[in-house]
Chains A and B, each alone.
Chain A
Amino acid sequence: MRGLLPFLAQRLFRALIALWLVSTVVFIVMRLSGDPVPLLLPPDAPISEMERVRRELGLDRPLPVQYAVFLGNTLRLDFGRSLHFREPAFTVVRGYILATLELGLTAFVLAAAVAVPIGLLSAMKRNSVLDHAAMALALIGQSAPTFFLGILFILLLALKADLFPTSGRGGWQHLVLPALTLGAFTMASIARLTRSAVLEVLRADYIRTARAKGLGEAVVVAKHTLRNAAIPILTITALQFGTLLGGAVVTETVFAWPGIGRLAVQSIYNRDYPVVQCTVFLAAVMFIVINFAVDLLYGVLDPRARAG
């Protein structure tokens, strides 16, 4: 069996390559997409003014030079100054990361905490009313557009039932609706996947053996079923977590949540290169860290994974 250390080193190396590729792609795409200067100035600004601003922002230098400067600075976590906010891009993005983590984590925990037991129960009580109801709900959760779901929650739970605030960030009450909205898809996916993974395992020979040995159902489920079904569940769950962190634009917009998804989209519209680069870089870091953690968990759950 291989040790954990080479396995770690290899994964770390891969992560770094991924980061470099991501930042390079963002750099190129942002440069290809057009000129930020007209968006920074009033529409009647003269050409000389445009040129002055372009010089000031270093956009008049050759692309390779801009790229070299960009890479060097990225290593020092210096993404330049936001063209829109006029302060360091990292400072800007840092302000949003916390809100994103808060919402993403809540949505994730909510989704996992609800979905895994539901999926498990559905599988155990296959074809029961509970199973059908749960899977129908999951279907809705997966197919309802986030935008619709968000507005529906606002109308029903905030306005009509008066249970939660309509939007904004504040106490835990502010978290519930956006987390439900954001987590709906994930919850549904995890529930469906858990169900099918558990069903698969339940058909396995070793479960029949365990039952034949006379083991109680609780032990069969906890020790034999769950542990073996954990790998696919973990995989999809982790991937979903990355999506929750980076792909919350619609939820953030509907609930006026100050997260990085909205920041990224606004910054793209504003052609705010530094903020886009910084946001994507940090989102990539989070994604890669999660994948890294999942890889490690694989190693813990299933020693065979360490060889791969």
Chain B
Amino acid sequence: MQVTRRELLKGAAALGVAGALPHALPGVAQAQTTQKRELVVGQGGDVSTFDPHISTSSNDIRISFNIFDNLVSRHPDGKLYPGLATEWKLQGQTTWAFKIRQRVKWHNGDPFTAADAKWSLERTYDPAHKTRVNTVFTSIDRIEAPDPLTLLIHTKKPDPLLPARLAFYGGQIVSRKYFEAAGADGFRSKPVGTGPVSFVSWTKDDKLVMEANASYWGGKPDFDRMIVRPVPEMASRIAALLKGEVDIITQVTPDHNDRINANPTTRAVGALYAGLYVLAVNSKVPPLNNPLVKQALSLGIDRDLIVKELWRARGIVPSGPIAKGDNHFDASLPPLAYNPKEARERLKKSGYRGEEIFIETTSGYTANDKPMSEAIQAMWRDVGINAKVEVLEYSVRAEKNRQKTFKGLWWSDPTSTLGDPDGMMWRLLGPGGPQDYWRHARWDELGDAARFSVDEKFRGEAYKEMTKIVLEHFPWIPVIQPYEDYGMQKHVDWTPNPNQAFEIRRFNFKFRRA
């Protein structure tokens, strides 16, 4: 028999088609309950360190928020709940008093006290510890732990958001005694916390094994062991899920949801991202220093089309610079409009003469960054904007970010770290912030006043006015608020957290038992 090339190709195509069929899977009749005592998670990248104060990357905080507890806990519903502190209140204008939870033990059996919390928070900004979260608690003046169950935090000015700051990165509480005994290296490789899981072993880029904390104050989680496997390739992560090798996978891109949902034993779940994807703008360079041009840019983007085509409807069109779900989000504002005719008008009025406008994008640093850049470039061309897309390597982007040398527009995915505009637009766009390419006296004044006011009504008014200013000057051109999607087995009951923390405490995670 002579095998021709055509026959071979036919055979290969048949194989490929069969392989891509989601229905052709083994074990479809599996029950949607389980007796598993082991939770296996596949995430897009590996942990880099277990010292929670040394990293803010999402692959790290998914783990560190579970080995460690914070004083205050932000649940997937976006609200603040007691953590290692059972209650807190503001005394006067600048003192926050926290009542510390009783009878909490570290994984090694030592008792947890207010002194640990004081040391841990002070450590974040102690230069000797060289942490990567040293800018989180800049509002703190000093901390007192008068007795094991009381913690007093004095701030330099009134800080209404201190509890929210304590609930995110930097706020994980570490044991002073253990840290000093183990040393920085020992601590980093074998961490001890108070959280629902304790560290057992880690083989880099292979697997991390943790054990349920049987005496956890919030109840032992619904498993004995938790294993986290880094599976960088999306297709392999999905295959591991479909085959039942893992219970939950993270970082699912929108085009894979259907495949996961079509499989009888798995489903996709998402949380609306606590943040936005925006085109940040260097408003110092012409013609981007002209608000009319930036208004035209915003009006020239068909966001509905982007959401529908590039995100398979896994996102919403933003109404301004405040993410939906945050404090002071104004639900009465309409989604940002697409109006090519108006865009052309404003361009004409602005005196724009076809100067090049650069979009500097990475390929995959944020989801869909390059396809969105290309789509927007085409939309802008239609209204007469001469846009140019340049692709950067990740580390070049990091360098430009630091040196503030972006030429025009670039993708940013600001996370709302505090569930409040202070932790998002003010943190990034404020004077001296990492995206300080635009100044506006009134906006600056409002942002500063809102940061240090404990009057929520005043803050609400301030953010309303700041939003209006942003929608005139566009230091950010918000494009989409996407969903953060996960895939999981149907025998898992779990709600994702919008801020990328991975909450497996008893209140949020359980296996469905028969």
Bind each other: yes
A binding-site residues for B, Cβ under 8 Å: 33-35, 37-46, 49-50, 52-53, 56, 84-87, 92, 95-96, 99, 129, 132-133, 136, 140, 151-152, 154-156, 158-160, 162, 165-169, 253-256, 258, 262-263, 269-271
A71 and B104 alpha carbons, distance in the complex (Å): 50
A45 and B434 alpha carbons, distance in the complex (Å): 8
A to B CB contacts below 8 Å, 27 in the list: A38-B401, A40-B132, A43-B434, A44-B427, A44-B428, A45-B402, A50-B402, A56-B130, A86-B188, A96-B204, A136-B8, A140-B8, A151-B235, A154-B235, A155-B19, A155-B20, A158-B239, A159-B25, A162-B26, A166-B239, A166-B243, A167-B245, A168-B240, A256-B205, A256-B206, A262-B232, A269-B394
Q: Is the CB of B236 within 8 A of A44?
A: no
How many residues on the B side are at the interface (Cβ–Cβ under 8 A)? 57
Q: Is the CB of B206 within 8 A of A99?
A: yes
The reply on B3 being an interface residue by CB < 8 A is yes
The reply on B135 being an interface residue by CB < 8 A is yes
A255 and B204 alpha carbons, distance in the complex (Å): 15
Q: Is the CB of B15 within 8 A of A34?
A: no
A133 and B15 alpha carbons, distance in the complex (Å): 18
The reply on B294 being an interface residue by CB < 8 A is no
State the total of A-B contacts with C-beta under 8 angstroms. 142
User: Across the interface, which residues of A come within 8 angstroms of B229, CB to CB?
Assistant: 168, 256
Q: Is the CB of A42 within 8 A of B56?
A: yes
Listed residue (A40, A50, A158) with the most chain B CB atoms within 10 angstroms of its CB: A158
Contacts A42-B133, A42-B135: A256 and B236 contacting too (C-beta < 8 A)?
A: yes
A258 and B243 alpha carbons, distance in the complex (Å): 21
Chain A residue nearest in CB terms to B135: A44
A42 and B433 alpha carbons, distance in the complex (Å): 12
B binding-site residues for A, Cβ under 8 Å: 1-3, 5, 8, 12, 15-16, 18-20, 24-27, 48-49, 54, 56, 127, 130, 132-135, 185, 188-189, 203-207, 229-233, 235-236, 239-240, 242-243, 245, 394-396, 398-399, 401-402, 427-428, 432-434
Q: Is the CB of B205 within 8 A of A263?
A: yes
Listed residue (B25, B27, B205) with the most chain A CB atoms within 10 angstroms of its CB: B205
User: Across the interface, which residues of A come within 8 angstroms of B3, CB to CB?
Assistant: 132-133, 136
Contacts A38-B399, A38-B402: A166 and B236 contacting too (C-beta < 8 A)?
A: yes
A156 and B5 alpha carbons, distance in the complex (Å): 22
A166 and B19 alpha carbons, distance in the complex (Å): 13
Contacts A43-B401, A136-B8, A168-B229: A156 and B15 contacting too (C-beta < 8 A)?
A: yes
User: Across the interface, which residues of B come within 8 angstroms of A270, CB to CB?
Assistant: 395
Residue from the list B1, B133, B395, B428 in contact with A39, Cβ < 8 A: B395
Contacts A86-B188, A159-B25, A166-B245: A271 and B395 contacting too (C-beta < 8 A)?
A: yes
Besides the known contacts A42-B135, A49-B134, A158-B243, 5 further A-B residue pairs in the complex with CB atoms under 8 A apart: A86-B188, A152-B19, A155-B19, A167-B239, A256-B233
A129 and B395 alpha carbons, distance in the complex (Å): 53
Chain A residue nearest in CB terms to B241: A166
Q: Is the CB of A254 within 8 A of B233?
A: yes
Distance in angstroms from A262 CB to nearest chain B CB is 7
